[in-house]
Amino acid sequence: MKKVFILFFVFILNYSFGQQRMYVGLHYVTVKNEDAQAHIDSEKNYFSKRHKAAIDNGNKIGWDMWRLENPNYREPHTTFVYAHLENPDNEPNMQGGNNMFSESEINMVRKKWTDRVVKSGYVMTSYKGGFVPAANQDPPKYAVLDWMMVDPIDFYEYEQTELKTFLPMQKSNKIVKGWGLHKVVSPSNNNLEASNYVVARFFDSMSDIYNMMDQTNPLSKNMKATMKNIMDLRKIKRSQVLSLVLSER
C-alpha cells in the first residue's frame, strides 16, 4: 500500500481526549497532481460537511484531511491522508449528513471522486495516549508521522517507555504542539516487516520541524541509556510529513 501514513495518527487536533478510547483510521488516497485541487474542493464542499454532521450527531469524534509533503522528487501524484477519529464502541457511519444533498448530486460527486483516485489504502490504529492543544486554540498545521516496527514481545515495554518517559519530554518541548502514540490494529497479513506503531508529532510550521531536527544537545549518561533503550525496542521504518488541508470537530 502507499506510503503507508494518522496516526496518524493522531490527527487529533482541537479535541481533548483524556483517557478516552479512540480509533484513528488512516485512509491514504493518491491522485494525479492536476486533480489535487478538484479533490480538495469536493471534500470541502461536500464530504467535510457530512463528516461535520456525523460529529454533531455523536456518530464520529473528528475528521482531518492531510497532504503528504515529502514525496519522491518530481512525483507526478499527490497523496492525501484522511484521519477518521472514531469511538470504538460505535459503528462508523455518516448518519446525520445523508440528507444534505440530493442523491443524484452526491452520486455524481462520488463518481468524480472515485475516478480521480489512482490508488488508496487504509490502516486502522488505536490511540494509546498523548496530548493536543486546547479546544480554543488553533490546530497545528503540520504533523510528522514515524512508523515503528516493534517485536510483539516488547509491545508493553515499548508503550510504557513512550508514555511514561518520552510523552513528558515532548510535552515540555515548546516547539511540539501535540504528540500521540498509536498502535496499528489492522491485520498485517503475516507481513513480518509491517509497522505496528505510529508516533505522531504536531507543529505550527515547517520551520518548527526544521528547528526540532536541527537541535543537537549534549546527553547525560541517563539520557543516553534511555535513548539506547528505546532504540533497542523499536525501529523507525519511515517518517512522513503532512500539512493540514481540512479539519472538522
Give 153-190 pLDDT, tens digit per residue. Answer: 999 999 999 999 999 999 999 999 999 999 999 987 66
- If DSSP codes are grouped into helix, strand and coil, which group holds residue 51? helix
149 vs 132 pLDDT, higher one: 149
Report yes or no on 2 lying in a domain.
no
pLDDT of residue 92: 61
pLDDT of residue 18: 45
The Cα–Cα gap between 58 and 77 comes to 35
Give 17-35 pLDDT, tens digit per residue. Answer: 445 689 999 999 999 999 9
pLDDT of residue 187: 86
Lowest-confidence pick of 7-21, 65-79, 211-225: 7-21
pLDDT (average), residues 43-48? 94
Query: In this structure, what C-alpha cell is assigned to residue 53?
Result: 454532521
Domain that holds residue 153: 23-248
Report yes or no on 62 lying in a domain.
yes
- β-bridge pairing 62-68 and 142-150: unpaired
The Cα–Cα gap between 62 and 247 comes to 8
Beta strands in the chain (DSSP E): 23-32, 62-68, 77-86, 117-131, 142-150, 178-184, 197-203, 234-248
pLDDT (average), residues 37-51? 95
Contact by Cβ (8 Å): 26, 4: yes
The Cα–Cα gap between 55 and 46 comes to 15
Q: Flag whether pLDDT at 151 surpasses 80.
A: yes
Percent of the residues in the chain that have a pLDDT greater than 90, as a whole number: 69
Q: Flag whether pLDDT at 132 surpasses 50.
A: yes
pLDDT of residue 232: 96
pLDDT (average), residues 52-57? 90
Q: Flag whether pLDDT at 233 surpasses 70.
A: yes
Lowest-confidence pick of 58-72, 87-101, 109-123, 161-175: 87-101
pLDDT band, residue 134 (cuts 50/70/90): low
pLDDT (average), residues 134-160? 90
H/E element holding 185?
Answer: none
pLDDT (average), residues 47-71? 91
**Number of domains making up the chain:** 1
Report yes or no on 123 lying in a domain.
yes
Contact by Cβ (8 Å): 39, 113: yes
The Cα–Cα gap between 95 and 55 comes to 9
Contact by Cβ (8 Å): 139, 242: no
pTM (2 d.p.): 0.86
Report yes or no on 3 lying in a domain.
no
Angle at 72 between CA 67 and CA 74, to 5 degrees: 95
Report yes or no on 144 lying in a domain.
yes
pLDDT (average), residues 65-83? 90
Show contacts of 163-169: CB within 8 Å, 24+ apart: 163/128, 163/129, 165/226, 165/230, 166/230, 167/129, 167/130, 167/131
Q: Exposed/middle/buried for 99, CB within 10 Å: 0-12, 13-18, 19+?
A: exposed
Query: In this structure, what C-alpha cell is assigned to residue 94?
Result: 455518516
Tell the residue number behind the cell numbers 457511519, with chain if given.
93
Lowest-confidence pick of 11-15, 104-108, 162-166, 241-245: 11-15
The Cα–Cα gap between 7 and 147 comes to 9
Q: What is the CATH number of the domain that holds 111?
A: 3.30.70.100
pLDDT of residue 15: 41
